[in-house]
Structure 1
Amino acid sequence: MALSGHCMCGAVTWTYSGSVTRNLVCHCADCQRATSSPFTAFLGMRLEQINWSGDITHYESSPGTFRGFCPSCGTRLYFRSDKWPSEVHVHAATMTDPAEYRPDAQVLMRSRAKWLDRLQSIPAHDGFQQAPKRR
């Protein structure tokens, strides 16, 4: 499998050739805090098969757990932990075409945001339901 991706500003890019080790949505409280979102979608990749280009800033969110992000635009790029020393978990939203992402599991459901159950029942819009105020 050949995959590629980049941060929001394009300063960091990645390419991957190989099988995906994980393909999941994580609902843990750490991912919620790290991404300011109710869950995070990851692709597990073998460290030796991913190539990065550009500067990445690393944050040790807990002992032996690192989160990489672009220092220019702040895009979260990956999660890496000593628990899985041969893998890096790349954020699926950084894929060149994130619409192609298809998770096959959800994990840490005990931390899942309860309001996600309501999404199907609340109004949906193709854009913002109100235009921005002009000054």
Structure 2
Amino acid sequence: MAFLTGRCMCEAVTWTYSGDITRNLVCYCADCQRATSAPLTAFLGMRPEQLSWSGDIRHYESSPDTFRGFCPSCGTRLYFRSDRWPHEIHVHAATMTNPDDYQPDAQVFMPSRVKWLDRLPTIPTHDGFQQRPSGPPAHRTALRSG
């Protein structure tokens, strides 16, 4: 049994969970990519009756009977739930108070995995943003050329 806590970026929404974890997945499906603006989503499957929320949560019905919860103040994506899995709610691992405690045990929808993720180990790393690029900011260039 696990006892976990989490929150959104602005801390307006918090959650606590005490129960068994039903899934620890990294998902590469196109829906999760679009919903989170990220190449993957890591989530924990939890029993809804053992999960407590505090704060205002808004919902988006991303497909029939499938909802994605988010904080209306900061926009943090909090969870995914669907009538296909009525006894689970899939909470985003990045919202955990200690996200380093997350231990995925499966990756799903591998055909949708973006290919550039394979290159990450060969790309230079930095402890913060690297130095500012030379030339005009890309957004100004794009606006002028459009």
Equivalent-residue separation in structure 2 for 1:103 and 1:130 (angstroms): 33
1:102: Cα distance to partner?
1.1
Q: Normalization by structure 2: what TM-score?
A: 0.89
Q: Which amino acid aligns with 1:53?
A: S
Q: Which segments of structure 1 move beyond 6 Å, counting only runs of 4 or more?
A: none
What stretches of structure 1 of length at least 5 have no aligned partner? none
Query: Does the alignment pair 1:76 with 2:90?
Result: no
Q: State the secondary structure of the residue aligned to 2:53.
A: strand
- Aligned-residue Cα RMSD (Å) equals 1.2
Task: Tell me which residue corresponds to 1:44.
Answer: 45
Equivalent-residue separation in structure 2 for 1:33 and 1:7 (angstroms): 19
What stretches of structure 2 of length at least 5 have no aligned partner? 135-146
Q: Deviations over 1:4-29 (max 9, x none)?
A: 00000000000000010000100000
Query: Does the alignment pair 1:33 with 2:45?
Result: no
Task: Tell me which residue corresponds to 2:109.
Answer: 108
Equivalent-residue separation in structure 2 for 1:128 and 1:55 (angstroms): 33
1:132: Cα distance to partner?
8.5
Q: Normalization by structure 1: what TM-score?
A: 0.96
Q: Deviations over 1:89-109 (max 9, x none)?
A: 000000001111111100000
Percent sequence identity over aligned pairs: 77
1:125: Cα distance to partner?
0.9
Equivalent-residue separation in structure 1 for 2:130 and 2:11 (angstroms): 30
Task: Tell me which residue corresponds to 1:23.
Answer: 24
Task: Tell me which residue corresponds to 2:9.
Answer: 8
Equivalent-residue separation in structure 2 for 1:7 and 1:120 (angstroms): 29
